[in-house]
């Protein structure tokens, strides 16, 4: 269903357990201009990936500089949605009823990102959720990702704040829908394009992105 390999291990009770590894290892000299890059964003029930749950995943795939795919789905967390989350995101409990659960969504997301670099704003947060919830499914998620927040900290030192709202204002961008995955993804995508074409124009290959990886 999705890329990876299975490794077998035998416990003390001699029962066979299977661990699936989902991985991608790009060439260090891979040119960013030629690469497939998936910009993604999660909405969650909170900030702690060990206790909270993903309720929306949005992603856009850019291949050689052109949009080549989009992935967007809500995720039923199978529990009541906190009122504060409804207020921030506009996502309601009713909107999540009947939506697929994370065990169904993650394999589809892994199919979508095949062969692509991942990027998110504050990617440590998003990758933490993906890796943890994949782990609950017996999946080790070993995937290359980098972070536009890290890039902004390095490339825009004079900008007082580096959150997505501030970067959007800095580059004259507006949100289609703030705190909704695809809306945030579209702004992150343009922020990335601006960083790579302006302040980070010297960043040409995957190797050049080492300082911004997560």
pLDDT in tens, 74-127: 999 999 999 999 999 999 999 999 999 999 999 999 999 999 999 999 999 999
Measured distance CA(119)–CA(149) in Å, rounded: 10
Measured distance CA(17)–CA(185) in Å, rounded: 37
For the stretch 118-136, pLDDT in tens is 999 999 999 999 999 999 9
* Percent of the chain with pLDDT strictly greater than 70: 92
Average confidence (pLDDT) over 43-54 = 97
Average confidence (pLDDT) over 128-156 = 97
Distances in Å between the Cα of 186 and the Cα atoms of 67, 105, 179, 200 are 11, 21, 12, 19
Residues in the chain, overall count: 214
Average confidence (pLDDT) over 4-8 = 42
- Its sign, for the CA torsion 51, 55, 61, 62, is negative
- Asked if 77 contacts 97 with a C-beta cutoff of 8 angstroms, the reply is no
The whole-model pTM stands at 0.90
Choose which CATH entry (3.40.50.300, 3.40.190.10, 3.40.50.2300, 3.30.420.10) describes domain 5-146: 3.30.420.10
Average confidence (pLDDT) over 134-148 = 97
121 given a catalytic annotation: no
Q: Which of 121, 133, 170, 179 is catalytic?
A: 179
């Amino acid at each position: 269903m999705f890329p990876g390999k299975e490794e077998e291990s035998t416990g003390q009770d001699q029962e066979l357990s299977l661990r699936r590894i989902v991985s991608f290892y790009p060439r260090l000299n891979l040119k960013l201009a030629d690469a497939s890059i998936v910009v993604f964003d999660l909405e969650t029930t909170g900030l702690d990936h060990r206790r909270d749950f993903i309720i929306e995943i949005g992603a856009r795939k850019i291949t050689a500089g052109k949009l080549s795919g989009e992935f967007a789905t809500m995720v039923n967390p199978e529990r009541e949605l906190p009122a504060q989350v409804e207020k921030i995101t506009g996502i309601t409990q009713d909107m999540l009823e009947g939506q697929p659960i994370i065990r169904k969504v993650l394999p589809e997301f892994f199919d979508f990102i095949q062969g692509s670099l991942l990027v998110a704003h504050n990617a440590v947060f998003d990758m933490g959720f993906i890796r943890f919830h994949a782990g609950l499914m017996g999946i080790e998620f070993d995937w290359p990702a980098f972070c536009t927040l890290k890039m902004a900290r390095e490339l825009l030192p004079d900008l007082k704040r580096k959150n997505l709202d501030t970067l959007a204002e800095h580059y004259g961008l507006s949100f289609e829908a703030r705190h909704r995955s695809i809306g945030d993804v579209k702004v992150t995508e343009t922020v990335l394009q601006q960083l790579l074409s302006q302040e980070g124009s010297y960043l040409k290959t995957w190797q050049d992105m080492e300082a911004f990886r997560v």
